[in-house]
């Protein structure tokens, strides 16, 4: 299926999202799925109810799309995402952003759990992704997005106005944000110590298995986008500890209050 056909299929199912006059969407990453559970729920969709849509299989991810409100202002929430390492193709992994386009979203924040490569980063830090790279994602995106002119297109990421709002939020809440470069790997395995050494020498600060295709497509689609990594572990080879997904979820849970305060304040500046 191509982008045009998949988008049309999603639009037939989710056009009602336009009725909420939504401006901001948040994609929640691993271990961050509890955000907003105490906020008023206006609308909810379970992707498992649609046989053409992906369903998350990863611990710490759900498969629900929600409209919730904060201070009586609605926003769109993707409680979980879909990864290549789950066996999904790129269009399925872009589902949240395609739905955000259908809902006429102006601002998108993607969040994820990432391994810290920068030796000055520690588990529990929050990092604004200033830029990103990968060995394979750009070609896959170009092949999938043939309906969109990607050649000679300036990628306005991260959106300057969202960076400004996020830094204002950081100052107002006292929650320290770091900034850095994110390296994307397809997964499903964690990187080897040799790969982490290479990524470090190339100048990257964090590594993960999501987000890049989402913010790239959002920026190409005219949606102002920004992304935050929760540093949940030291990358392979930086400590003697064996990597496990349970560590990712546990660390994300430890910073839950800080994360929720930051995201709530950011949403209020953008809805």
pLDDT digits (tens, 9 = 90+) for 184-194: 988 777 778 88
Burial letters 8-32, b for 16+ CB under 10 A, else e? eebbebbeebeebebbbbbbbbbbb
Say whether pLDDT at 61 is over 70: no
Q: Report, as an integer, the average pLDDT of 214-220.
A: 90
Contact 230, 32 (CB under 8 A): yes
pLDDT number for residue 167 = 94
pLDDT number for residue 236 = 47
Kindly write down the DSSP assignment for every residue of 77-114, as one continuous string. EEES---GGGT--HHHHTHHHHHHHHTT--EEEEEEEE
Nearest-angstrom CA–CA distance, 156 and 152: 12
**Of 83 and 76, the one with more pLDDT:** 76
Q: Report, as an integer, the average pLDDT of 119-134.
A: 91
pLDDT number for residue 55 = 87
> Which segment, 43-57, 142-156, 225-239, is predicted with the most confidence on average?
43-57
DSSP, collapsed to helix, strand or coil, labels residue 46 as strand
- CA 196, 199, 201, 203 torsion-angle sign: negative
Q: Report, as an integer, the average pLDDT of 2-9.
A: 90
Q: Report, as an integer, the average pLDDT of 109-117.
A: 92
Nearest-angstrom CA–CA distance, 236 and 18: 43
CA distances in angstroms from 15 to 46, 166, 242, 247, listed in the order given: 15, 29, 45, 38
Q: Report, as an integer, the average pLDDT of 92-96.
A: 93
Q: Which domains can be identified in the chain, with CATH numbers?
A: 3-270 (3.40.50.1580)
- CA 173, 174, 175, 180 torsion-angle sign: positive
What are the helix and strand counts (H, E) for the chain?
A: 9, 9
CA distances in angstroms from 50 to 77, 96, 103, listed in the order given: 18, 14, 18
pLDDT number for residue 221 = 87
pLDDT number for residue 80 = 79
**Peptide bond connecting 170 to the previous residue in cis, omega within 30 degrees of 0:** no
pLDDT number for residue 57 = 79
Say whether pLDDT at 126 is over 80: yes
Question: pTM of the entire structure?
Answer: 0.90
Q: Report, as an integer, the average pLDDT of 40-67.
A: 86
DSSP, collapsed to helix, strand or coil, labels residue 65 as strand
| Helix, strand, coil % in the chain, rounded to nearest 5 | 35, 25, 40
Which residue from 104, 113, 59, 90 is spatially nearest to 235, judged by alpha carbons? 113
Tokens of 204: 């990257």
pLDDT number for residue 211 = 94
pLDDT number for residue 89 = 87
14 pLDDT band, cuts 50/70/90, is: very high
Residues 6+ away with beta carbon under 8 Å from 73: 267, 268, 271
pLDDT digits (tens, 9 = 90+) for 149-208: 555 456 788 999 999 999 999 999 999 999 999 999 887 777 788 888 899 999 999 999
237 pLDDT band, cuts 50/70/90, is: very low
Nearest-angstrom CA–CA distance, 101 and 180: 27
Quote the mean pLDDT of the chain.
86
């Amino acid at each position: 299926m191509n982008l045009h056909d998949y988008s049309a299929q999603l639009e037939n199912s989710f056009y009602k999202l336009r009725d909420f006059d939504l401006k901001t969407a948040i994609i929640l990453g691993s271990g961050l799925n509890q955000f907003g559970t105490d906020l008023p729920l206006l609308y909810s969709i379970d992707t498992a109810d649609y046989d053409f849509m992906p369903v998350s299989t990863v611990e710490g991810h759900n498969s629900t799309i929600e409209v919730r409100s904060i201070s009586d202002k609605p926003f769109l929430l993707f409680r979980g995402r879909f990864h290549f390492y789950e066996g999904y193709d790129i269009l399925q992994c872009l589902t949240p952003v395609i739905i955000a386009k259908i809902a006429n979203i102006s601002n998108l924040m993607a969040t994820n759990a990432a391994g810290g490569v920068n030796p000055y980063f520690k588990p529990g830090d929050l990092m604004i992704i200033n830029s990103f790279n990968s060995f394979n994602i750009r070609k896959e995106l170009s092949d999938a997005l043939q309906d969109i002119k990607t050649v000679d297109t300036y990628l306005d990421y991260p959106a300057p106005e969202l960076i400004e709002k996020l830094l204002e939020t950081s100052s107002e809440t006292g929650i320290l944000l770091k900034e850095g470069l994110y390296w994307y790997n397809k997964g499903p395995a964690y990187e080897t110590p040799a790969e982490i050494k290479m990524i470090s020498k190339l100048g990257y600060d964090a590594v993960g298995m999501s987000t890049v295709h989402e913010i790239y497509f959002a920026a190409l689609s005219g949606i102002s986008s920004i992304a935050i990594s929760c540093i949940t572990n030291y990358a392979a080879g930086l400590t003697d500890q064996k990597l496990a997904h349970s560590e990712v979820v546990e660390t994300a849970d430890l910073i839950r209050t800080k994360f929720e305060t930051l995201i709530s304040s950011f949403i209020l500046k953008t809805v």
